[in-house]
Amino acid sequence: MFGIFKKKKKEEPQNLENSDLPKEKTDIIPHEREQDVVVDAGIEQEVKVEEDISTKSFFTRALEKTVDNFKSIVPQRKEKIEFDTIEELLIEADMEYEIIEKAMDGLPNLITRDQLRHRLVMLFEHAPDIDTSSLPRPFIELIIGVNGAGKTTTIAKLAHMYKENGNSVILGAGDTFRAAAIEQLTKWSQKLEVPIIKTKQGHDPSAVAYDTITSAVAKNIDHAIIDTAGRLQTQVGLANELKKIVKVCGKACTGAPHQKLMILDGTQGNTAIAQARAFNEMVGIDGIIVTKLDGTAKGGALFSISNQLELPIFYIGIGEKATDLISFSPDEFVDSLLDGIYK
Ligand SMILES: Nc1nc2c(ncn2[C@@H]2O[C@H](COP(=O)(O)OP(=O)(O)O)[C@@H](O)[C@H]2O)c(=O)[nH]1
Ligand SMILES: [Mg+2]
């Protein structure tokens, strides 16, 4: 079925009955040799896995600024902490007051680590439990979010992670709104040695999505990751474009996209929630990746993000390198936070 679609499209695109199907031509760029690659400052850092660092310390790193801020409220770690002090700490970490009230309802005046830990972990009840051994192939992911949130960088991080796990990856440069976005993803594809499907600036992004998927199907590639624009002339234009991309993905491969991932900038704290709501209304979101947690004291916003949107957080970004992505673990996240205030 995919072969028929592809053949029709290449030979007589004008005869396609459905106007949703993209008609523009995209380029398939296989990865190039390392020495041909011109790299950006953020990309040129070595792509290597630091195996000696445990996941726990990654979370501690992600929450460094958030926990640092706690010191002005609780200078010394304690065994029990007053109710009001905990409230103050959570507000300081940019957790929404409504969520704080919900989490702390009925707790005593002096709160132990275990009591608080239990309540905070529960806020992530939408945490995912994905069985990665039974993903459809190709597994097609659409990456959504506003400009600057970290979409393109996160795509590189995901691609790197999948490759490290022994899977093949293809990228789709679906942010055709800006030439720089296509260029940026192309550089990452070269650095990571994964193929990319791209077109010229201003061309139809659903054509890119379609060709990325048909190429993944034809070459039996495990993962296809498709970038999208975060901003167009109008909000309605963006919504229509995203809806069209989603529809075209489904035409290229039944069930695609298998996952629509929203990328949220962690430095924006709670304001990111409004963005996610808007995108969720446009196309529906399956999960969230929060970026730039390394640069913010607003780590507590993750509680509100997951709880208010009723969506799982899949990963967090803790830097600009391809290795700076970690699977989100509610237990480890909460423990790292509590390590800063409890003995
Ligand atoms: N410190 C830090 N910077 C990040 C992270 N993720 C992305 N960035 C930076 O944020 C900027 C915007 O990222 P980009 O991927 O281009 O965002 P896009 O417009 O959504 O595609 C770039 O300078 C990235 O290097 C992260 O987890 N930590
Ligand atoms: Mg981008």
Ligand nearest to the CA of 185: 2
Distance of alpha carbon 268 from the chain centroid: 15
* pLDDT of the residue at 43: 47
Q: 87 CB contacts (<8 Å, ≥6 apart)?
A: 100, 104
Q: How far is the CA of 309 from the centre of ligand 2 (A)?
A: 23
Q: How far is the CA of 212 from the centre of ligand 1 (A)?
A: 23
Rounded to whole angstroms, how far apart are CA atoms 297 and 62?
A: 9
- Ligand 1 contacts CB of residue 94 (under 6 A): no
- Ligand 1 contacts CB of residue 294 (under 6 A): yes
Q: 191 CB contacts (<8 Å, ≥6 apart)?
A: 37, 39, 43, 47, 156, 322
Q: 260 CB contacts (<8 Å, ≥6 apart)?
A: 141, 142, 144, 246, 283, 284, 285, 286
- pLDDT at 194 > cutoff 80: yes
* pLDDT of the residue at 231: 80
- Ligand 1 contacts CB of residue 340 (under 6 A): no
Q: How far is the CA of 65 from the centre of ligand 1 (A)?
A: 18
Task: Report the pLDDT averaged over residues 156-168.
Answer: 97
- Ligand 1 contacts CB of residue 291 (under 6 A): yes
List, for residues 271-296, the tens digit of each pLDDT value. 888 889 999 999 999 999 999 998 88
Ligand nearest to the CA of 175: 2
* pLDDT of the residue at 126: 79
| Number of helices (H), then strands (E), in the chain | 13, 11
Best of 154, 157, 290, 320 for a ligand 1 pocket test (most atoms within 8 Å of beta carbon): 320
What length is written for the chain?
343
Across the chain, what does the average pLDDT equal? 85
* pLDDT of the residue at 14: 38
CA nearest ligand 1 atom 22, residue: 150
Q: How far is the CA of 154 from the centre of ligand 1 (A)?
A: 8
Task: Report the pLDDT averaged over residues 21-48.
Answer: 49
Task: Report the pLDDT averaged over residues 164-189.
Answer: 96
The encoded tokens of residue 116 equal: 């608080």
Q: 302 CB contacts (<8 Å, ≥6 apart)?
A: 266, 290, 293, 313, 316, 333
* pLDDT of the residue at 85: 97
Q: 209 CB contacts (<8 Å, ≥6 apart)?
A: 22, 142, 172, 174, 226, 245, 248, 249, 252
- Ligand 1 contacts CB of residue 265 (under 6 A): no
Residue 31 pLDDT level (bands cut at 50, 70, 90): low
* Single-letter code of the amino acid located at 249: C
pLDDT > 70 fraction of the chain, expressed in percent and rounded: 81
Rounded to whole angstroms, how far apart are CA atoms 96 and 90?
A: 8
- pLDDT at 265 > cutoff 50: yes
* pLDDT of the residue at 24: 62
* pLDDT of the residue at 132: 63
Rounded to whole angstroms, how far apart are CA atoms 257 and 249?
A: 6
Q: Can you state the angle between helices 271-283 and 301-309, rounded to 10 degrees?
A: 30
For residue 284, report the phi and psi dihedrals to the nearest 5 degrees: 80, 130
Rounded to whole angstroms, how far apart are CA atoms 245 and 178?
A: 17
Region of poorest pLDDT, from 15-19, 53-57, 164-168: 15-19
Which of the given ranges, 17-21, 68-72, 250-254, 273-277, has the highest pLDDT on average?
250-254
The encoded tokens of residue 193 equal: 């040695």
Q: 71 CB contacts (<8 Å, ≥6 apart)?
A: 340
Please identify which residue in the block is written with the tokens 């010191």: 71
Region of poorest pLDDT, from 18-22, 100-104, 173-177: 18-22
Residue 127 pLDDT level (bands cut at 50, 70, 90): low
- Ligand 1 contacts CB of residue 180 (under 6 A): no
- How large is the greatest C-alpha to C-alpha distance in the chain, in angstroms? 73
Rounded to whole angstroms, how far apart are CA atoms 56 and 41?
A: 28
**Secondary structure E strands in the chain:** 27-29, 80-82, 110-112, 139-144, 169-172, 196-198, 223-226, 259-265, 287-291, 313-317, 325-327
Task: Report the pLDDT averaged over residues 185-190.
Answer: 98
CA nearest ligand 1 atom 1, residue: 319
* pLDDT of the residue at 235: 79
Rounded to whole angstroms, how far apart are CA atoms 124 and 72?
A: 27
List, for residues 200-259, the tens digit of each pLDDT value. 998 999 999 999 999 999 999 999 999 999 886 677 889 999 999 999 999 999 999 999
The encoded tokens of residue 326 equal: 């970690």
Best of 63, 289, 291 for a ligand 1 pocket test (most atoms within 8 Å of beta carbon): 291
